[in-house]
Structure 1
């Protein structure tokens, strides 16, 4: 290999001196200053193959954790136990101890599965308690609603769930369908705020033909406070034996359709209020 001329022309002699200094424990900076080597590339070639002295190596912050993890593994600890004890990831633990023998299994697979299941059940219970607490707190925070608040909430509900007028199909009337009893109760409360008499309401059940229509009509009639014989003929949806829908149990009641007679003006008020809500929400207070 050709070496630079000038101050580095005696490359081999310079390398011998550099190696000797390295083995004597000097750092790169010390060797560079001692030999007056200003070129890092030349310095790299002079020290090629020579490991740095131990005192120049930066300590690894995880060396202590690694040693402790190996110690615990040799005592028969599992990855989970080591993770809890040391607070490090399982991937790191695996790198540190995978060459060590696995601890003897102290439980049968069935026992381990039962323990894991109990732990998971406890987790699910805790999550359910947190879920119910969050819901109860939010419910309590709402409090009683004024008629104005009921009106605005009802407008939003209707715009999301009710039948709407289209330019190509004029349907300016209130026509609402839903399967949630609480939604139906709220819709009726909204109609009360609008001053709609119950005599102006017509009801119909929409349900799959495989369900019990009479029971469904009885259920909805009791909910809205009318005689089931006043219901219009049910709308039956064709049953698909291969259906993947989940609402096929005995508790399935279909949907209740509510028609409001002579409601064109109410529909226009609802639609206008909806766009008022949209515009009002877009305007930010100063």
Structure 2
């Protein structure tokens, strides 16, 4: 038990050691104290020297942490930016006055900015990954044989082309799509099927609010057909109340492809499509 006189002397010595920057454990050893309770008592209401707070931490990190804290940044935000633990941040900045809670608007702004930065990096990574997968898958296809073109074209037509109905058999070969790659595939398919480009006629379908002339030029150049093969463009009436996303310079409407006297061609397409679907059915013995 410390006597009152000893207590005054020991506390004075402890304050001196504290001012010199000694740590708690060093002070305890120098004064010969036997418990942390005694140590806490003699150091009560003293402030450690600044060097004791930061230990061996880098001064530039500590100063940057204090700057960020003065700007109102939270412990987790500072720790994430500097790559240190929250406990280190707390040790470096706990003597600074605590800022009040951020306003709702400021919190939203910071959250939005954080999401923007995240998706700027993550979006680029995902696009690169998607492009890599797409390219490798494209390379797996290689050049198609005539048979493979017939299969691909017949299925494309059965998905996107006009088909006979139980109540109406038109037997017309009519294909319409906005994807130029798919349109070119269909034209190539017809060529392999014995239908030359000269046996086709075309019609552009597009909203009246778009650049109609530019779209007509685009499809004419893309198909390589003669201008006489293009029928009058069909304009879709513009409804201002409708929020359309197919707008801008890349919007060129759809192209309709028709085969003149296409009865025999339709019959073949029907057979090729059905033959492909039957052959591709899963069986129990596979």
TM-score (norm 2): 0.60
User: Post-superposition shift, 1:251?
Assistant: 2.7
Cα distance change, pair 248–116 in 1 and its aligned pair in 2 (3 A): closer
Q: Name the counterpart of 1:195.
A: 194
Match runs of 1:242-253 below 5 Å? 242-253=241-252
CA RMSD of aligned residues (A): 3.1
Any runs of at least 4 consecutive aligned residues in structure 1 with deviations exceeding 6 A, and if so which?
A: 79-82
Alignment of 1:261 onto 2:273 = no
Q: Name the counterpart of 2:239.
A: 240
1-structure distance, mates of 2:211, 2:119: 39
Match runs of 1:158-173 below 5 Å? 158-173=157-172
Q: Name the counterpart of 1:184.
A: 183
Cα distance change, pair 281–230 in 1 and its aligned pair in 2 (3 A): closer
Cα distance change, pair 155–113 in 1 and its aligned pair in 2 (3 A): closer
1-structure distance, mates of 2:183, 2:131: 23
2:167 counterpart SS class: coil
Cα distance change, pair 127–151 in 1 and its aligned pair in 2 (3 A): same
Gaps in structure 2 of 5+ consecutive residues: 1-73, 86-97
CA deviation map 1:163-192 (0-9, x unaligned): 111121211121111111111111111111
The question of whether the paired residues in 2 share the 8 Å contact of 1:161 and 1:178 is answered with: yes
1:78 counterpart SS class: helix
2-structure distance, mates of 1:224, 1:197: 12
Q: Name the counterpart of 1:213.
A: 212
The question of whether the paired residues in 2 share the 8 Å contact of 1:218 and 1:228 is answered with: no
1-structure distance, mates of 2:214, 2:119: 39
Gaps in structure 1 of 5+ consecutive residues: 1-75, 87-102
The question of whether the paired residues in 2 share the 8 Å contact of 1:175 and 1:260 is answered with: yes
CA deviation map 1:69-93 (0-9, x unaligned): xxxxxxx8539979x999xxxxxxx
CA deviation map 1:1-59 (0-9, x unaligned): xxxxxxxxxxxxxxxxxxxxxxxxxxxxxxxxxxxxxxxxxxxxxxxxxxxxxxxxxxx
2:203 counterpart SS class: strand
Cα distance change, pair 233–111 in 1 and its aligned pair in 2 (3 A): closer
Cα distance change, pair 104–146 in 1 and its aligned pair in 2 (3 A): farther
The question of whether the paired residues in 1 share the 8 Å contact of 2:205 and 2:256 is answered with: yes
1:133 counterpart SS class: helix
Q: Name the counterpart of 1:78.
A: 76
Match runs of 1:62-101 below 5 Å? 78=76
User: Post-superposition shift, 1:155?
Assistant: 0.8
1-structure distance, mates of 2:114, 2:244: 35
Cα distance change, pair 230–260 in 1 and its aligned pair in 2 (3 A): closer
